[in-house]
């Protein structure tokens, strides 16, 4: 089994979120924060400002006029959407790379994570449950642990595969048995270091666990969006066949197959738009 200290070192070497993004996210946790407060933090970072404005003006967010400065952006899209855009802007550096251990090509984890977030957002819209931004962010970040754990999965792949194919383990069970840690647990640890809320951390940590009756809304929706994204072909990750079903969650929220079909149909167009306008591309093997 790989020493836990080795995994922790990988977390330590993971590039931090851009300073401006971290400061702005911290300010957003202050209930007294104003749009002017946020604008003051990020206006001097040209890269973050450019990314935020590009996303604000994308057709995904559907604004009727072009936004030219951060103050306008905050007024028109609101603090919840602004938080989502900040995280999108700050996390691309992790998701864009090739994740060899999970057989994910360059850009594939980014596209998969984005698709999960868009689907989660659409589920909230369809079933008319308001999202404070946490569902979107948890779905976006649910597989961040793969970025760190990929190297260790590569090193132990034969042993993991043997347990999955020969002993009936799910992939994540084999991952934990062989490495001592699974990517969901590791992702939760990373987000805790970055200062994300407990509700997001718990949803990431539990996204591979079988659903329980007392699970939160955010935990349930991350599981559904994860499954739908996989079904729609946004990932070829080798852990895909290890997912537990989501039928119980669908019954819990009275989500029928027709509703799921509608969610997938609407989401695929939104995902295409934001991939194109944000410059996200998946490398073909």
Tell me: the pLDDT tens digits for 123-167?
Answer: 999 988 877 789 999 999 999 999 888 888 888 888 988 998 899
Q: Report how far residue 226's alpha carbon sits from residue 247's, in angstroms, rounded to the nearest whole number.
A: 13
Please state, in angstroms and rounded to a whole number, the distance separating the CA atoms of residues 159 and 73. Answer: 50
* Residue 172 predicted with pLDDT over 90: no
The torsion of the CA quartet 24, 29, 89, 148, rounded to 10 degrees, works out to 110
Q: What are the structure tokens assigned to 172, written together?
A: 């994540």
For residue 270, what are the CA distances in angstroms to 62, 97, 180, 259, 275?
10, 23, 38, 17, 9
Asked whether the predicted pLDDT for residue 15 surpasses 80, the reply is no
Distances (CA, A) of 4 to 78, 192, 202: 41, 17, 21
For the record, the structure tokens of 219 come out as 């935990």
Count of CB atoms situated within 10 Å of the CB of 91: 22
Give 242's pLDDT tier (boundaries 50, 70, 90).
Answer: very low
* pTM for the full predicted model: 0.86
Give dist(CA 79, CA 28) in Å, integer: 8
Answer with the residue of higher pLDDT: 39 or 60: 39
Provide CATH code, domain 4-15+97-278: 1.10.3210.10
Sorted by where each begins, the domain ranges of the chain are 4-15+97-278
Binning pLDDT at 50, 70 and 90, where does residue 25 land? confident
Residue 71 makes CB contacts below 8 A (sequence gap 6+) with 35, 36, 39
Cβ(126)–Cβ(259) below 8 Å: yes
Q: What percent of the chain has pLDDT over 90?
A: 26
Report residue 49 as tokens. 């400002």
Tokens of 231: 């079904």
Model confidence at 84, pLDDT cuts 50, 70, 90, reads confident
């Amino acid at each position: 089994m790989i020493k836990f200290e080795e995994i922790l070192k990988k977390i330590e070497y993971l590039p931090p979120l851009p300073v401006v993004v971290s400061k702005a996210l911290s300010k957003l946790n202050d209930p007294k924060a104003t749009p002017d407060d946020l604008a003051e933090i990020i206006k001097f970072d040209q890269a973050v400002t450019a990314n935020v404005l590009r996303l604000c003006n994308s057709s995904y967010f559907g604004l009727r006029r072009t936004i030219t400065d951060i103050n306008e952006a905050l007024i028109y899209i609101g603090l919840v959407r602004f938080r989502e855009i900040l995280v999108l802007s700050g996390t691309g550096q992790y998701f864009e790379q090739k994740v060899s251990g999970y057989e994910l090509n360059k850009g594939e984890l980014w596209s998969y994570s984005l698709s999960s977030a868009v689907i989660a957002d659409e589920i909230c819209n369809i079933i008319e449950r308001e999202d404070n931004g946490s569902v979107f962010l948890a779905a976006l970040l649910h597989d961040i642990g793969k970025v760190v754990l990929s190297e260790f999965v590569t090193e132990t792949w034969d042993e993991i595969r043997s347990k999955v194919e020969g002993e009936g383990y799910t992939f994540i069970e084999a991952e934990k048995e062989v490495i001592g840690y699974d990517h969901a647990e590791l992702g939760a640890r990373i987000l805790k270091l970055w200062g994300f809320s407990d509700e997001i951390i718990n949803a990431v940590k539990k996204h591979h666990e079988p659903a329980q009756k007392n699970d939160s809304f955010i935990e349930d929706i991350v599981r559904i969006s994860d499954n739908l994204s996989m079904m729609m072909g946004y990932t070829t990750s080798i852990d895909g066949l290890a997912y537990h079903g989501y039928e119980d969650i669908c019954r819990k929220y009275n989500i029928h197959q027709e509703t799921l079909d509608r969610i997938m149909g609407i989401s695929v167009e939104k995902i295409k738009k934001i991939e194109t306008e944000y410059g996200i591309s998946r490398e073909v093997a």
